[in-house]
Amino acid sequence: MSDLFNNYIGGKWVESVSGETFDRKNPATGDLVATYTKSTPADVDAAVAAAKEAFKSWRLYPAPKRGEILYKVANLLVERKEEFAREMTEEMGKVISEARGDVQEAIDMTFYMAGEGRRMYGQTTPSELQNKFNMSVRKPLGVAGIITPWNFPMAIPSWKIMPAIISGNTVVFKPASFTPRTAIRFVQILEEAGLPAGVVNLVMGGGADVGNAIVEHPDVPLISFTGSNDTGIDVATRGARLNKRISLELGGKNAVIVMDDANLDLATDGILWSAFGTSGQRCTAASRVVAHTSVQKELVDRLVARADTMRMGDGLDESVDIGPVVSANQLKSINDYIAIGRNEGARVAVGGGIASDGNLGRGHFHQPTIFDDVKAGMRVAQEEIFGPVTSVIPVESLDEAIDVVNGVKYGLSASIFTADVNRAFRAMQDIFTGILYVNAGTTGAEIHLPFGGTKGTGNGHREAGTVAMDFFTEWQSIYVDYSGKLQRAQIDNQE
C-alpha cells in the first residue's frame, strides 16, 4: 500500500473534491512511488480563494520578515537535501548526483531571494520642480499561478515561488503529474518554516483540469509557466484573452561550437555532460554539436568511445551515468526521432535504440545516441527531442558555425570551445541566445544571473537573478509635493 498525498489549500492538507487519485511509478523500475489526490477546477477555486484571502495580509507583511521565513526554508532544505534527492530520483529518474544538484539549486535560490527581502530597490530621482520628491516602489500583483515541469522538480518551483512570495504575492502551485511528491516536500518545508496559511497552495492533477483552471481563473492575474512550446502557446493564448501577465519558459535546441583550436578533452567532457545529463531531458541540453571539419572525426571518435561506456540504470546507484527517461511515451517519442534521423540520411555513430537488457527492461531507458554528418536543416537538428540524442553538424568556419547556431526557432543556450579570445567575443556578439558559455557546455546556469531565452524559447521574461522580481511586481511611481501650492510638471517649469 503506497502513501496517499493530498493538496495543500489554506494551510491544510485536503483531498480533492473529486475523491479520485492517480499513481506515479518509478521510471527506472516500474515500482509504485505514491498515490496522489486528483484535483478538479473546484479545487483550484478553493486554492485561489485561499490565496486571495491571504494576499490581504501577506502583502503588508514586512519584506525583511518574509525573508526571514525564506532563510528558515533554505536551512531546512539543507538538512533534508539527501532525503529529497533520493525521493526525486525515485520519482523522475535522474541520477542521484544530479538530484542533489536540483535540491541545491532550490537552496541557492531560496537563500538568494531571502536576501531580496531587504533590497527590492526602487529609484529616487530629482524633480524638475522645487519642493517636490520623486520615487518608485515595487508592488505585488496578487495571486500568482505557478505551473512547473517534471525535469527539475524542486529547482524550477523555487525559481518561481521564491521571488513571488518575497515580493508579497501569494501562490497557487501546480506541479507536473510525474513529480508531485517533490512538490509536496517543498511545500511541507514552507509550512514547517512558518509560512502563513494560504500564501502557497498546492493543487495536483493534469493540465486540462487543473492547469487551464488556474490560467483562466479571474482572480489569478499572473501566470508563470515552464514546459513545452505547444502548451506554452496555449497558456499564453488563454491568458491573453483575459489580459493576464504571462511568463513562458519553453523549449531549446542548444548547440556547442567546437572550433579547430579547441581543447578536445574539455569539449568532449562538456558535450557529454550537456547532451546526456538528465538523460537529455533539459531545456538547455546540447542536442547539436557544430564541429569544424578539421576536428570533426577526432571529436566524434572521442564522443563515441565515451558514450559507448556510459552505464545506464537506476539513478540511486552511484555508479550509473544515465538514468531512465520519464515515461513510456517519452521513450517512444525519442526513439521515433532515431528513425527520422536515419531516414534523413544522418549516420548513427553510437546508440540509436531502446535499452532493454536485464533490469533495464523494467524501466524507460534509451541509449545515449550520437548522429554524425547531420545537415543543419534536418529535423533532428531543428526539433527538440528532449532525450539523450545529439547531432554533429560539420562546418568550415566560425561564420558558418554562428549561422547554424542561430538557424533554429529556439534561442536558449549555446556554447563555444576555442582558444582564441577574438572568436569567443565574436560568439558573444553574434549568437542570439539568452545564455552563452565559453569553453563550457550548454548547461550550468547560476541563480544570480537571468535565465531565459530568445525567439521560440519564451516571451521575453527572465527567471533567477534580481530581474525575476520584474515579473512578480508592478512599478508604482510616487510624487510628493511639499510646496504647498499646485505645481504642474512640464508646464510650471518652463521659462
Which residue among 249, 383, 384, 400 is the active-site one? 249
Q: Per-residue b/e over 10-22, b at no fewer than 16 CB within 10 Å?
A: beeeebbeeeebe
Does residue 225 sit in the same domain as residue 302?
no
452 belongs to a structural domain: no
Q: How confident is the model at residue 2 (pLDDT cuts 50, 70, 90)?
A: low
Residue 275 corresponds to which amino acid? A
390 belongs to a structural domain: yes
51 belongs to a structural domain: yes
Ramachandran area for residue 487 (φ above 0: left; ψ -120 to 50: alpha; else beta): beta
Q: How confident is the model at residue 492 (pLDDT cuts 50, 70, 90)?
A: confident
Does residue 238 sit in the same domain as residue 361?
no
472 belongs to a structural domain: yes
191 belongs to a structural domain: yes
Does residue 174 sit in the same domain as residue 301?
no
161 belongs to a structural domain: yes
Percentage of the residues of the chain whose pLDDT score is greater than 70: 99
> Looking at residues 335-345, what average pLDDT do you find?
97
Does residue 219 sit in the same domain as residue 274?
no
Task: Quote the distance between the C-alpha of residue 369 and its chain's center.
Answer: 24
- Asked if 396 is an active-site residue, the reply is no
Overall number of domains in the chain: 2
Domain of 391, CATH number, reads 3.40.309.10
Which residue among 90, 283, 384, 463 is the active-site one? 283
pLDDT at 368 over 80: yes
466 belongs to a structural domain: yes
Domain of 45, CATH number, reads 3.40.605.10
- Asked if 283 is an active-site residue, the reply is yes
pLDDT at 300 over 50: yes
Does residue 305 sit in the same domain as residue 210?
no
Q: Per-residue b/e over 388-406, b at no fewer than 16 CB within 10 Å?
A: bbbbbbbbeebebbbebbb
Does residue 167 sit in the same domain as residue 281?
no
Does residue 274 sit in the same domain as residue 381?
yes
pLDDT at 1: 40
pLDDT at 212 over 50: yes
Q: How confident is the model at residue 369 (pLDDT cuts 50, 70, 90)?
A: very high
pLDDT at 3: 75
What is d(CA 451, CA 156) in angstroms, rounded to the nearest whole number?
11
Does residue 191 sit in the same domain as residue 239?
yes
Does residue 246 sit in the same domain as residue 268?
no
The whole domain housing 395 covers 254-438
Does residue 286 sit in the same domain as residue 193?
no
Q: How confident is the model at residue 495 (pLDDT cuts 50, 70, 90)?
A: low
Q: How confident is the model at residue 294 (pLDDT cuts 50, 70, 90)?
A: very high
Instruction: List, for residues 31-64, the tens digit of each pLDDT value.
Output: 999 999 999 999 999 999 999 999 999 999 999 9
Does residue 200 sit in the same domain as residue 273?
no
Q: How confident is the model at residue 414 (pLDDT cuts 50, 70, 90)?
A: very high
pLDDT at 357 over 80: yes
488 belongs to a structural domain: no
- Strands 222-226 and 143-147 turn out to be parallel
> How large is the C-alpha radius of gyration of the chain?
24
> Looking at residues 295-314, what average pLDDT do you find?
97
Does residue 107 sit in the same domain as residue 139?
yes
Helices (H), 372-486: 398-406, 421-430, 468-472
Would you say 384 and 251 are in contact if contact means Cβ atoms under 8 Å apart? yes
